[in-house]
Amino acid sequence: MYLYHLGKVILFVVFKIVFRLEVIGKENIPKQQGVLLCSNHISNFDPPILGVASPRIVRFMAKQELFHNPFLNWLLIRIGGFPVKRGLGDKQALRTGLELLNNGEVMGIFPEGTRSKTGKLGKGLAGAGFFALRSNAVVIPCAIVGTYKPFKKIKVIFGKQINFNQLKNEKRSAKEGTEVIMHEIRKLLEKERRNI
């Protein structure tokens, strides 16, 4: 993961200067446990900025089409990305994600499944709830706040762990699990907007 660490150092400097990056709540991410990092999605910059903001390596699913480009395929594989077929129940991607989480890695996911064109939080898909309910990972909600305009501040806020024990015991559905996650992301966004 040499390329990941090199890229993280370079991008940290770029994001700090260009977007005045501020990170809040790093201490909420456990140092060694599997972590499911669930964030709102407002820009193509979101995956790299989450990677820079997190104190640990973050693995991401990326749409399969990106892997058709030889350069992107080479790059994504070397920074720990793995493909997912969007709009389908991609069993291989689900298995890979569960394996990463249960092996103590950090996986970043955007529950909305696509970027919000308005900047407002959309509806979450069942995937996030599936990983939260089926894995042993800690679930951390995350909010990215800002517009990615040069020299305007971007904040990455890592919330406190969501307790999924009761939902697991009650054998709740993946959709219900995602709704809990989206509620926590929404709370982070609303709290930050009240502080502006």
Of the candidate ranges 13-27, 58-72, 105-119, 127-141, the one whose mean pLDDT is the lowest = 58-72
**How many folded domains does the chain comprise?**
1
Give the CATH number for residue 91: 3.40.1130.10
Would strands 155-158 and 22-24 be described as parallel, antiparallel, or unpaired?
parallel
Write the pLDDT tens digit of every residue in 170-184.
999 999 999 999 999
Q: Which domain holds residue 92?
A: 2-195
Distance CA 174, CA 61 (A): 18
Average pLDDT over the chain reads 91
Distance CA 170, CA 26 (A): 30
- Average pLDDT (108-115) is 91
Confidence of residue 61 (pLDDT cuts 50, 70, 90): confident
CA angle 73, 99, 4 (to 5 degrees): 40
Question: Could you count the other beta carbons within 10 Å of the beta carbon of residue 10?
Answer: 11
pLDDT above 70 (res 196): no
Torsion of CA 36, 38, 42, 45, to 10 degrees: -20
Distance CA 124, CA 139 (A): 15
pLDDT above 70 (res 14): yes
Write the pLDDT tens digit of every residue in 128-154.
999 999 999 999 999 999 989 999 999
pLDDT above 70 (res 189): yes
Distance CA 63, CA 72 (A): 11
Q: Are 79 and 4 in contact (CB under 8 A)?
A: yes
